[in-house]
């Protein structure tokens, strides 16, 4: 295997103490009134403390295991990449036997694979090559799967459209004039196009479910922490999810069974409960009760009538399969997007921007290659960020400057209230049901106005983003087509009841309603 490299390298000169000028600038930044004499004293104390950092630099850092040989692979040509969905192609063979033997898997390009370039959709990270395998990559290979490439994702994964990646737009496999959905844009397009059996996506505001909805795939956002996030570029630790995407529920369940489970290096996990997911696919929903969430339909200025109608018709199909289907109301669902906005904006600024991807104040595995490379690159190439990332920087810092994190804190305090609203509904029914996205895929904007740009990048998250806050498992189920484009139905279950969600999705799939 070729050695992974950050391409920019660590500081080989060691940790150096600050100059008085550097300390003066820091004091000013933090509103400290310190004289030159004061700073000279602090400089002497700091110079002694720097010794600890020098010693840390000398100690050997533990690395995530890289167990299987691989070559660097290659960037595919446009002729071999008609949907612009591949960022990088490779062929990493795992164990000789296992549950994924014979399966070809693509990974979203925010997932580290040692020796394989990772761009995370952003030219700021172009040239970065991880030196570790993410936990999910190792588990896939241990189960006999073959990793065949990295799927394009949106710029730092901050878009629900598929046009913000630095490598260009990912095209919808049903109509290339339309968005594939984001931010796991390439993952969805590749599974629908038949280029892989399964793919791993990521979801902080709907980024597994949105592209699955718009491209017509099955995509599951698991309960928060069920699938380890170790070795994956984060956005906001309380929102970070990674999960499986495929063209059959069986493949989604199989991949989930392989990647789910406890990882002591991921602080997002607490009491992880795994199930035998493939065994849950009985095709029978006669003892299940579905709740059609009234507030998931009819979003002003967003919902399309055909989408609402076809999702309701799909819900009726569960009645034909013997399930009970009722309509319920969860008024607070309409506030979920507002709670998410406050958390995602300031939280992403803190973790993804100010603290160089990994953030601070958690114990687990820090991918230092990302911190080193991205931390240097973003200070030089910040103008290359997409408009969605620049929006996060400007609004997040404004709110921090003006309101000192008050609304981020209040939004996090409201998450248990929102969670309880769904939990109360899930005491009445087994599964919640609503459109995944209020609309079908939007056209790829050619020369968008500011409003068109942000509408296409963030205008579809109304139903998906609340469950990134509350951590309930949620799955897109392709349920119909309209004007040649897929319509997605979302099923939401109780925490760690992915088996029930998958069981219902599988029964719908086997009924042959969507084709």
For the annotated catalytic residues, the residue numbers are 108, 183, 207
Strands (E), 29-117: 86-93, 104-108
Nearest residue to 388 via CA among 441, 337, 352 = 352
By the 8 A CB rule, do 492 and 474 touch? Answer: yes
By the 8 A CB rule, do 180 and 171 touch? Answer: yes
- DSSP result, 96-129: SSSTTTT-EEEEETTB--TTS---TT-TTSTT--
* Per-state percent for the chain, helix, strand, coil, to nearest 5: 40, 15, 45
- Which H or E run includes 368? helix 368-380
For residues 343 and 346, give the distance between their C-alpha atoms in angstroms, rounded to a whole number: 6
Nearest residue to 433 via CA among 486, 400, 479 = 479
Q: Read off the DSSP letter of residue 272.
A: -
By the 8 A CB rule, do 209 and 436 touch? Answer: yes
Alpha carbon distances (Å) from 386 to 72, 102, 180, 290, 428: 28, 38, 18, 40, 43
Please list, in sequence order, all residues whose beta carbon lies within 8 angstroms of the beta carbon of residue 41, skipping any fewer than 6 positions away. none
Take residue 351 and report the two structure tokens written for it. 């973790």
For residues 145 and 157, give the distance between their C-alpha atoms in angstroms, rounded to a whole number: 25
For residues 199 and 201, give the distance between their C-alpha atoms in angstroms, rounded to a whole number: 6
By the 8 A CB rule, do 318 and 290 touch? Answer: yes
For residues 395 and 381, give the distance between their C-alpha atoms in angstroms, rounded to a whole number: 19
- Which H or E run includes 148? strand 146-151
Please return the burial class of 336, using the count of CB atoms within 10 Å of its CB with bins 0-12, 13-18 and 19+.
Answer: buried
By the 8 A CB rule, do 350 and 313 touch? Answer: no
């Amino acid at each position: 295997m070729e050695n992974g490299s950050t391409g920019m390298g660590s500081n080989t000169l060691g940790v150096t103490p600050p100059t008085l000028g550097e300390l003066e600038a820091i004091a000013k930044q933090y509103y400290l009134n310190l004289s030159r004499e004061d700073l000279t004293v602090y400089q002497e104390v700091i110079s002694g403390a720097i010794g600890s950092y020098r010693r840390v630099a000398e100690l050997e850092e533990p690395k995530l295991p890289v167990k299987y040989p691989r070559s660097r692979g290659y960037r595919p040509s446009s002729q071999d990449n008609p949907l612009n969905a591949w960022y990088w192609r490779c062929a990493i063979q795992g164990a000789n036997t296992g549950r994924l033997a014979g399966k070809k898997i693509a990974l979203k390009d925010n997932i580290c694979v040692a020796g394989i370039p990772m761009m995370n959709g952003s030219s700021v990270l172009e040239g970065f090559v991880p030196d570790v395998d993410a936990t999910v990559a190792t588990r896939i290979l241990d189960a006999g799967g073959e990793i065949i490439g990295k799927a394009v994702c949106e710029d730092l994964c901050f878009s629900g459209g598929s046009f913000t990646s630095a490598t260009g737009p990912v095209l919808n496999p049903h109509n290339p004039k339309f968005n594939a959905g984001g931010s796991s844009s390439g993952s969805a397009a590749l599974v629908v196009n038949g280029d892989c059996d399964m793919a791993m996506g990521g979801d902080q505001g709907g980024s597994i479910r949105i592209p699955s909805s718009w491209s017509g795939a099955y995509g599951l956002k698991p309960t928060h922490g069920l699938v380890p996030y170790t070795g994956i570029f984060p956005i906001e630790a309380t929102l970070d999810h990674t999960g499986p995407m495929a063209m059959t529920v069986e493949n989604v369940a199989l991949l989930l069974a392989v990647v789910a489970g406890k990882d002591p290096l991921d602080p997002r996990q607490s009491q992880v409960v795994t199930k035998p997911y493939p065994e849950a696919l009985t095709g029978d929903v006669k003892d299940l009760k579905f709740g059609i969430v009234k507030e998931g339909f009819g979003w002003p200025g967003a919902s399309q009538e055909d989408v609402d109608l076809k999702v309701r018709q799909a819900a009726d199909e569960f009645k034909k399969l013997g399930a009970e289907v009722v309509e319920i109301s969860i008024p607070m669902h309409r506030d979920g997007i507002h709670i998410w906005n406050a958390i995602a904006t300031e939280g992403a600024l803190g973790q993804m921007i100010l603290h160089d991807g990994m953030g601070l104040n958690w114990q687990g595995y820090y991918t230092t290659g990302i911190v080193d490379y991205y931390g240097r690159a973003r200070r030089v190439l910040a103008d290359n960020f997409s408009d969605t990332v620049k929006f996060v920087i400007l609004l997040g810092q404004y709110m921090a400057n003006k309101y000192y994190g008050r609304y981020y804190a209040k939004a996090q305090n409201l998450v248990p209230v929102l969670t309880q609203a769904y939990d109360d509904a899930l005491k009445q029914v087994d599964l919640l049901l609503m459109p995944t996205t209020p609309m079908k895929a939007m056209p790829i904007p050619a020369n968008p106005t500011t409003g068109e740009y942000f509408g296409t990048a963030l205008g579809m998250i109304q139903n998906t983003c609340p469950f990134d806050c509350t951590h309930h498992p949620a799955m897109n189920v392709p349920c119909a087509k309209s004007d040649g484009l897929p319509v997605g139905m979302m099923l939401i279950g109780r925490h760690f009841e992915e088996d029930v969600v998958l069981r219902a999705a599988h029964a719908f799939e086997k009924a042959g309603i969507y084709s």
